[in-house]
Amino acid sequence: MADRLRAREWPHNNRCVLCRTTEETGIHLFADCRFVKRIWGAISTWAMVEGLHPTAWQPFQSVEEWGTMIGRRPSNDTQGLRTLIILVIWEIWLERNARIFKHKETACPALISKIKDHASCWMAAGAKRLSALLA
């Protein structure tokens, strides 16, 4: 992330490649970016997990604090919730890297569909807890 590259004095673009308006930090990339908030909101609605929606989040100071907060939300299946969180974070990271290294962009609705498709693939591959969460 740009904040870490800056600390190491490596050349980089410090703007978030998803929203292009704010400096990229870990907190911004996974939680504060307006592009990412749309993803979390849509996945929250789809999975029927209110705690994943940005409007349900309490203030946080770090990525670790945010991750702990959303992973502890009431859910019928905590492990399934954590699996879904990992999937969403992974897809956000892949989208970020595709924009930086391949100069390819996926629109937010298409990325949300991709996350849902990958969740279905994970469930077909045996992610039982994720299946229980999304049942």
Per-residue pLDDT of the chain (135 residues; tens, 9 = 90+): 555 555 666 556 789 999 999 999 989 999 999 999 999 999 999 999 988 999 999 888 888 898 888 887 666 688 999 999 999 999 999 999 999 999 999 999 999 999 999 999 999 999 999 999 998
Q: What is the pLDDT of residue 59?
A: 87
Smallest CA-to-CA distance from 30 within 81, 89, 106 is with 89
> Which pLDDT score, from 0 to 100, does residue 6 have?
55
Backbone angles phi, psi at 104, to 5 degrees: -120, 135
Which pLDDT does position 2 carry in this prediction?
52
DSSP state of 18: T
* Contact indicator for 83, 122 with CB cutoff of 8 Å: yes
